[in-house]
């Protein structure tokens, strides 16, 4: 079951990454809208928490158990950091990110695409 959850997260992350590569301006708009409200911060923390738990539970049956476990712990730490920083600070970070050149946004899209593909491929 957790392998399916990790694969679904991987496909979602890869889809967002591909979107960022193809349409960086729309990708920035999507990110701005997501982080525009405190609800977005709560959703982000919960999604990061869910991904971390899924990675930890699926790690043993994966092709890269140590890597997935490490990513799971990083995801859990990311959830805590998101919750700690809160909406106002994260909105400033997102706004700074949104001001980066299109090449940088595309690079982040490529990183997300690669990460998502890795997650899907790591699940046996």
DSSP, residue by residue, the chain: -HHHHHHHHHHHHHHHHHHHHH-HHHHHHHHHHHHTSHHHHHHHHHHHHHHHHHHHHHGGGBSSHHHHHHHHHHHHHHHHHHHHHHHHHHHHHHHHHHTS-HHHHHHHHHHHHHHHHHHHHHB-
67-121 pLDDT, tens digit per residue, is 999 999 999 999 999 999 999 999 999 999 999 999 999 999 999 999 999 999 9
- Where are the domains positioned within the chain? 2-122
Question: Is a pLDDT exceeding 80 seen at residue 124?
Answer: no
What pTM did the predictor assign? 0.91
Residue 1: what pLDDT? 87
96-111 pLDDT, tens digit per residue, is 999 999 999 999 999 9
């Amino acid at each position: 079951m957790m392998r399916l959850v990790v694969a679904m997260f991987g496909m979602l992350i890869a889809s967002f990454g591909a979107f960022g590569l193809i349409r960086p301006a729309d990708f920035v708009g999507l990110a701005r809208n997501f982080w525009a409200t405190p609800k977005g911060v709560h959703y982000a923390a919960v999604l990061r928490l869910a991904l971390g738990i899924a990675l930890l539970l699926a790690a043993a049956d994966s092709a890269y158990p140590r890597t997935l476990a490490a990513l799971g712990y990083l995801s859990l730490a990311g959830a805590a950091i998101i919750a700690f920083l809160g909406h106002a600070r994260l909105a400033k970070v997102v706004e700074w990110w949104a001001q980066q050149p299109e090449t940088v946004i595309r690079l982040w899209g490529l990183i997300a695409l690669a990460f998502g593909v890795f997650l899907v491929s790591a699940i046996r």
